[in-house]
Chain A
């Protein structure tokens, strides 16, 4: 089942997500990208109802770029996180989106940052975050091994340990994972961790 997690390193932040599209007991697809590149320096990892996830991430992405067109300045990660929280909070009392978000970003003034946002509009600025069944393992692993000022290599190693633990301990473990990273040079795909071919 779903696993999305992320952490902040020394001068970067990374987000990891499984890439399974599941319906009931069936896996439809194992290369579904659940981490949206919001703008040049933001990553939005999302888990939850597939339709809501697609709708909400795209809605946010389009709003972030609209802001940029209108004002010629990018939205900070903090501003984007609060915008998402606001949208989820308004939706919550009408027709809630079933999505949980790990938002990673890099800003000139504040450096890398990571935000935990769940479908009931909770917002936390954190060093490490995780959602889904995989979160039990990922959080435990990160609690044990995470430290501030991690290098990219250390963080990737920790992410691999998390993935390894999920694969060996979770009954319904997803096959493939994707890792994306954001630093001063922008948001981009880092690598995949595959056990099955697409």
Chain B
């Protein structure tokens, strides 16, 4: 303990006389050497600007918000694709242990209202809070206006909540990114992506979670306007299979949900069953059919 203390003092005095550049250098060092001395460089120095979400660093960054985004980079990924007749969401279920009872319902896809669903990447406990607020908002809107809430309004209200945690109260931001899929009478099918900072945008195809950049660039290459829903499912599964760490894609590691208009013209949210998903994976050549036992 005493050793630690003296090191902190040492590091502290260094910081006081150093420029910002050296803060970054210290962070850089810590990556390559795990020596405790360097750790304390980082600890003491970054502490100045990242211990509170509400404080900008001199470079104009909010570290806590960036760390929250980092947390999502490790989470199971999700991909959303907008097609002309619906929106497709696929998600990677992380199987953390063989002993874990995989839930029969979805764990990454949530229905928010009759016409809106979302996929989550990040800290699930945080996500549950936000999903609850989203559902409350959607119901509150229908209570006020007797009409379904426009998709962007719901996304915006949720992002306002997220933004609040990057500015007020000394609390940490939500470590969650969302993909929202929905339909409304004004803009038809829509896909939105949001991050912990409270930013959101409408997308034709988007990816969140682990390897989202690789997935995003694959989507950019392969996405075509006027893609059908079936093609969108195929593309989403292909991209996910290539960006996921595990070699073979099976239905127990996947979730697939779609938002589309049924023949009666009503918005429908449909989750693909594991059996149908297995067949689809084989059909699209993403996995080999299971060998006869």
Q: CB within 8 Å of B: which residues of A?
A: 70-71, 73, 75-76, 78-79, 82-83, 86, 109
Shortest Cβ-Cβ A-B pairs, 6 listed: A79-B145, A82-B146, A79-B147, A73-B186, A82-B145, A86-B144
CB distance from A169 to the nearest CB of B (A): 38
Bound CA–CA A71/B152 (angstroms): 8
Q: Contacts A71-B152, A71-B153 given: A78-B147 contact, CB under 8 Å?
A: yes
Most buried by A among B145, B152, B185, B186: B145
Bound CA–CA A58/B145 (angstroms): 18
List of A residues within 8 angstroms of B185 by Cβ: 109
- Decide yes or no whether B32 CB sits under 8 A from chain A: no
Q: Which of B135-150 contact A (CB under 8 A)?
A: 143-147, 150
Q: Once the chains bind, are A79 and B146 in contact (CB under 8 Å)? A: yes
Bound CA–CA A78/B185 (angstroms): 14
12 contacts between A and B (CB under 8 A): A71-B153, A75-B145, A78-B145, A78-B146, A78-B147, A79-B144, A79-B145, A79-B146, A79-B147, A82-B146, A83-B144, A83-B145
Q: Which of B115-135 contact A (CB under 8 A)?
A: none
Bound CA–CA A109/B150 (angstroms): 16
Residue of A nearest to B152 (CB): A71
Bound CA–CA A155/B283 (angstroms): 63
Bound CA–CA A192/B99 (angstroms): 80
List of B residues within 8 angstroms of A109 by Cβ: 185
State the interface size on chain B (CB cutoff 8 A).
10
Q: CB within 8 Å of A: which residues of B?
A: 143-147, 150, 152-153, 185-186
List of A residues within 8 angstroms of B152 by Cβ: 71
CB distance from B244 to the nearest CB of A (A): 37
List of B residues within 8 angstroms of A70 by Cβ: 153
Bound CA–CA A86/B186 (angstroms): 24
List of A residues within 8 angstroms of B145 by Cβ: 75, 78-79, 82-83
4 new A-B pairs (CB below 8 Å) besides A71-B153, A76-B147, A78-B146? Answer: A73-B150, A78-B147, A79-B145, A82-B146
Residue of B nearest to A123 (CB): B146
Bound CA–CA A83/B153 (angstroms): 17
Q: Once the chains bind, are B153 and A82 in contact (CB under 8 Å)? A: no
CB distance from B159 to the nearest CB of A (A): 13
Bound CA–CA A109/B184 (angstroms): 13
List of B residues within 8 angstroms of A75 by Cβ: 145
List of A residues within 8 angstroms of B147 by Cβ: 76, 78-79, 82
CB distance from B260 to the nearest CB of A (A): 20
Q: Once the chains bind, are B143 and A71 in contact (CB under 8 Å)? A: no
Residue of B nearest to A71 (CB): B153
Most buried by A among B143, B144, B152: B144
Bound CA–CA A78/B148 (angstroms): 12
Bound CA–CA A124/B186 (angstroms): 25
Residue of A nearest to B153 (CB): A71
List of B residues within 8 angstroms of A79 by Cβ: 144-147
Bound CA–CA A73/B149 (angstroms): 12
List of B residues within 8 angstroms of A86 by Cβ: 143-144
CB distance from A120 to the nearest CB of B (A): 18
List of A residues within 8 angstroms of B144 by Cβ: 79, 82-83, 86
Q: Once the chains bind, are B146 and A71 in contact (CB under 8 Å)? A: no
CB distance from A38 to the nearest CB of B (A): 14
Bound CA–CA A83/B147 (angstroms): 11
List of B residues within 8 angstroms of A73 by Cβ: 150, 186
